[in-house]
Structure 1
């Protein structure tokens, strides 16, 4: 009996891995769950194509009802996304910079899988994209709105800075909607224990960055592309960081990675691979 159990435990993972995976519907969107109305699908497709042209990073969106319906029965979404990523070969094979956005509506979970070229620090950026852009809309069943916002955030916070050779953008801290419960609690506590209230509110705001000149939390960042990257040469841009309170401004040049001449940047799948990095969200 123990021998049979051991054989079963050995063969079970192999049987899961042998489940056939779906073929892509396109190299931009495979909307198996039909979450996107035609007009939204067109906008998201345009955003994926333009983002790929601007950064050279291949981002693919996949939606499903359940991953079990597409060869993922009994698998965690993290393992399934890695399998799908590697079978399709998302991203440039040399840079391994592809990104897979996988959404399983009925499983109520999603995964941003990153190519093997991303260091672990980019997992945090992927988690920010999920938590700030995708999940708030998904929790109200606004999948089209969440996808559109999430794709834009994926390029802004992951693909664009990675292609430019930058670190992930700093976390701007919680939004006012995130802070509101803490603020209300702080005001109430002020009436009772004054100093304790200031401590609670300070803890809630500690992650927000301060201006190096005036100390205000009023920083914003903008990137201007001066010359786009091509298959012949790298591109160049200027990154502007400004404080709206005192007018402090800093401009720094940055480079944009040269685009590959292969399928990884112009169309199709380029043979990229993932080692399992990324982030997961549930709602």
Structure 2
């Protein structure tokens, strides 16, 4: 009898846990780019095209628009889920609130356009509903999800283009046209290239000339791969400094047996590689706020 009671208690606990899991809200996806597709619906070229289009909008108008495709929002409604995502991602500029979010729940056959406070005067609930009904869902019904999303984004951008928004403030770059995406992706290559190439060139030309040659080589490589003169100059200087410092450290290392110097476990202490594998720096919300404006639809 006691064993039967234990089994019943375990089954009851399991049932409660399963029920809790079933009723749990869908987690807000990480904002990894202007287009986040958790269903594999869009091809890489579709995502690249949409992302570039939305990036151009932000550069020109300052407004941010993002697209999210998820399998389902259950047990929440798409309205509850999309406002949670909008509040977490904070699309749009702070105090301008000129963000918009297109959410598609593919398995639920539902979608929503969530609109920030600053766009509610132009991208009204009625306008958002017309974009859904007249542009997006007809293509969805025929199975053309990429075409529907692309056409819907075009209409959203068209509406935002007609809105009088504050001019985007240029990022403080002191006259240097640096691309943060390029820096974050190329930094590890420049860092480790300076170390290994610097070791070879210092052996051939000595510490000073070898470091200068390393900086020049890193700069030329950066210019060839990235196409940015300013980033090439920065990489050249960084390569020179890293190679010169590495040469000084290597000269103080024991020639055999003992513990190696500070490069063994902390070679990335300068911060170059701590986030090199993360895409979170490529796009982030600007602090915009949402109040539930927008429209929903289904197909």
Which category describes the TM-score, using the shorter chain as reference length? 0.5 to 0.7
**Cα pair 1:100 1:112 within 8 Å, conserved:** yes
Coordinate RMSD, CA, aligned: 2.6
Structure of higher CA gyration radius: 2
Task: Describe the superposition over 1:234-282 as per-residue Cα deviations: whole angstroms up to 9, x where unpaired.
Answer: xxxxxxxxxxxxxxxxxxxxxxxxxxxxxxxx94111212110001111
Task: Describe the superposition over 1:71-115 as per-residue Cα deviations: whole angstroms up to 9, x where unpaired.
Answer: xx2x22112111110012111121111101000111001000001
**Aligned equivalents of 1:160, 1:16: Cα separation in 2:** 42
3-state SS in 1 of match to 2:119: coil
Task: Describe the superposition over 1:158-205 as per-residue Cα deviations: whole angstroms up to 9, x where unpaired.
Answer: x2222458xxxxxxxxxxxxxxxxxxxxxxxxxxxxxxxxxxxxxxxx
**Cα pair 2:72 2:105 within 8 Å, conserved:** yes
In structure 2, the residue matched to 1:125 is 127
**Cα pair 2:136 2:149 within 8 Å, conserved:** yes
3-state SS in 2 of match to 1:110: strand
Identify the match of residue 231 of structure 1 among 166, 169, 191: 169
Shift of 1:25: 4.3
**Aligned equivalents of 1:86, 1:231: Cα separation in 2:** 23
TM-score by length of 1: 0.54
Shift of 1:52: 1.3
1:108 and 2:114 matched? no
Determine which structure has the larger strand proportion and give its number. Answer: 1
In structure 1, the residue matched to 2:43 is 37
In structure 1, the residue matched to 2:84 is 83
In structure 2, the residue matched to 1:141 is 143
1:1-283 alignment runs, 5 A limit: 19=25, 21-68=27-74, 73=75, 75-119=76-120, 122-157=124-159, 159-164=160-165, 229-231=167-169, 267-283=283-299
**Cα pair 2:31 2:89 within 8 Å, conserved:** no
**Aligned equivalents of 2:101, 2:150: Cα separation in 1:** 15
**Aligned equivalents of 2:86, 2:150: Cα separation in 1:** 21
Determine which structure has the larger helix proportion and give its number. Answer: 2
**Cα pair 2:97 2:290 within 8 Å, conserved:** yes
3-state SS in 2 of match to 1:61: strand
Structure 2: tracts of 5 or more residues without a match: 1-20, 171-281
**Cα pair 1:57 1:163 within 8 Å, conserved:** no
**Aligned equivalents of 2:80, 2:29: Cα separation in 1:** 18
TM-score by length of 2: 0.51
Structure 1: tracts of 5 or more residues without a match: 1-14, 166-228, 233-265
Shift of 1:140: 0.6
